[in-house]
Amino acid sequence: DGGITQSPKYLFRKEGQNVTLSCEQNLNHDAMYWYRQDPGQGLRLIYYSQIVNDFQKGDIAEGYSVSREKKESFPLTVTSAQKNPTAFYLCASSIRGSPLHFGNGTRLTVT
């Protein structure tokens, strides 16, 4: 079955550490996205990539970095510069003209 796999489901880190969230898709989708979800704020776009080796900042990119070396993979690094990193992170993918397909998310807690 095709889909998006985000791992791990829960992640705990100490403040000041960088952490990388994994997102893998086997849907052969060109575009991939990272969203951050906070209670009452809906989803906010962090980064997106329309094609391999290219990506653009979304609305809240500060303190995050991404890479897109393979079509299937779009890892997100939450750096120590992100002031409030505790959140639920959602990865999505799509092909042109089709709705976004979401993974099941990673809940990151930084203490």
Rule CB under 8 A: which residues touch other proteins?
4, 6, 9, 31, 35, 40-45, 48, 50, 88, 90, 92, 94, 96-105, 107
Q: Which two tokens stand for residue 92?
A: 């999505």
Q: How far is the CB of 78 from other proteins (least distance, A)?
A: 18
User: Measured from the CB atom, is 16 or 40 closer to other proteins?
Assistant: 40
| CA–CA gap between residue 73 and residue 68 (Å, rounded) | 6
Q: How far is the CB of 20 from other proteins (least distance, A)?
A: 19
Q: How far is the CB of 9 from other proteins (least distance, A)?
A: 8
User: Measured from the CB atom, is 80 or 88 closer to other proteins?
Assistant: 88
